[in-house]
């Protein structure tokens, strides 16, 4: 069976750990969007591993990891990560290539528009892609690649003139650097369709959460990729075969950077909760903003992505709190609203008591633990199949 796991919040839902576990039973893990602006954290032998571009099945010997079409690749970043398990990594020839200069330009633009990006250059590559001033891996091996580089260098120099910077990029410097980097991964470049449309079962891994989707997220504070499940068929050229869509959420909400966050904790509580639960961005190491689950946005994302089952993570993190809340709806002048994209502050919450301990046996846990899980199931009308209660792979409860 083909599976897809997608985060239903702003990312950081703990996808890395769950995908690492599921890769024990999968032949292929496919990354189909984003770039190194995503960070997945996996604990192995008490060691914390952060991977940004390679799929989370990289630690399994017999699981292939494919970077599919529409992934944006910074080759320098890939060369750092493939040391983990280079034999199992394959790269589509249609992947678009990022240069380190794109990261610098991304930083310059964010100083003006103040989105709070990860400075990974993804937005700049997307811009170059739209104006046909971009290249993918297969272009590097063409005899006229030097002409493509000329267009890219022209773009960079125009941007530097705009920012009044006395910087000039030379064609042959960039040309030689790209050719040198591509040499190390040349043998891993394949035709994407050889794996995507084969008969083996596949597991599709999203980069960020759907609340950061370019079209359906909290625009403009979003990523530059389509995260929702429908994009799998376009981004990977996967035939219209059946996929089971599974959603993953945290027992609370977090997001990094700027943007609308209606259920965010107050400043002191946010700092305390984020520090005690090590809520730092895997990519930027910035302190995450923490808050309660917004059930309105969760229900909408479940419908949009045709989610059949849910996975909930970090249930152990709520032990430090006395009370837990779930946002049910918003109110203005005693009228109910459900639009999560508007900055409405009068929230209606459902209150729960927290729990003191968590055990691996679901039925041995406290009543409040059960009430919280079953309430989410009832409101979303979606069964929860896995509960994560810790950092280790064994810290899972199966329902």
Active site residue 40: yes
- The catalytic position among 12, 102, 213, 294 is 12
Alpha-carbon distance of 86 to 37, in angstroms, equals: 21
Both tokens of 296, joined, read: 């309105």
Question: 3-state DSSP call for residue 58?
Answer: coil
User: Which secondary-structure segment (H or E) carries 156?
Assistant: helix 145-162
The count of other CB atoms within 10 Å of the CB of residue 199 is 5
- The catalytic position among 20, 36, 40, 213 is 40
CA-to-CA dists, residue 121 to 36, 106, 126, 128, 229, angstroms: 9, 5, 9, 11, 24
- Own/partner contacts of 48-53, CB < 8 Å, gap of 24 or more, are 49/84, 50/282, 50/283, 51/16, 51/81, 51/84, 52/77, 52/81, 52/282, 52/283, 53/77, 53/78, 53/81
Give the N- to C-terminal CA distance of the chain in Å, as an integer. Answer: 20
Nearest alpha carbon to residue 66 among 199, 184, 186, 203: 203
Active site residue 12: yes
Residues marked active site are found at 12, 40
């Amino acid at each position: 069976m083909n599976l897809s796991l997608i985060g239903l919040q702003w990312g950081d839902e703990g996808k890395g750990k769950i995908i690492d576990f599921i890769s024990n039973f999968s032949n292929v893990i496919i990354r189909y969007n984003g770039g190194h602006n995503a960070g997945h954290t996996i604990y192995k032998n008490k060691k914390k591993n952060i991977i940004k571009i390679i799929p989370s099945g990289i630690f399994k010997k017999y699981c292939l990891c494919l970077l599919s079409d529409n992934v944006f690749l910074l080759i320098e970043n890939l060369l750092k990560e493939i040391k983990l398990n280079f034999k199992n990594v394959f790269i589509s020839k249609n992947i678009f290539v990022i240069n380190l200069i794109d990261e610098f330009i991304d930083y310059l633009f964010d100083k003006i528009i103040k989105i709070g990006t990860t400075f990974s250059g993804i937005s700049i590559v997307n811009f170059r892609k739209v104006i046909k001033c971009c290249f993918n891996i297969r272009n590097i091996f063409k005899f006229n690649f030097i002409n493509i580089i000329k267009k890219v260098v022209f773009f960079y120099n125009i941007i530097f003139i705009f920012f009044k910077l006395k910087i000039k990029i030379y064609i042959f410097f960039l040309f030689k650097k790209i050719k040198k980097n591509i040499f190390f991964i040349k043998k891993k470049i394949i035709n994407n369709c050889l794996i995507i449309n084969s008969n083996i079962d596949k597991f599709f891994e999203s980069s960020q959460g759907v609340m950061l989707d370019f079209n359906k997220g909290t625009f403009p504070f979003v990523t530059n990729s389509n995260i929702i499940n429908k994009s799998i068929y376009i981004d990977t050229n996967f035939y219209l075969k059946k996929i089971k869509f599974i959603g993953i959420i945290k027992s609370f909400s977090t997001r990094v950077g700027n943007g609308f966050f209606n259920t965010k904790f107050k400043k002191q509580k946010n700092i305390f909760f984020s520090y005690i639960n090590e809520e730092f961005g895997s990519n930027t190491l910035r302190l995450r903003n923490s808050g309660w689950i917004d059930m309105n946005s969760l229900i909408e994302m479940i419908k949009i992505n045709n989610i059949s089952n849910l996975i909930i993570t970090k249930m152990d993190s709520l032990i430090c709190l006395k009370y837990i809340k779930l946002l049910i709806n918003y109110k203005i002048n005693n009228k109910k609203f459900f639009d999560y994209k508007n900055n409405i502050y009068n929230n209606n919450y459902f209150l729960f008591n927290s729990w003191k301990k968590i055990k691996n046996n679901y039925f041995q846990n406290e009543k409040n633990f059960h009430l919280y899980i079953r309430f989410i199931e009832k409101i979303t009308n979606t069964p929860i199949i896995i509960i994560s209660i810790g950092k280790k792979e064994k810290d899972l409860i199966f329902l």
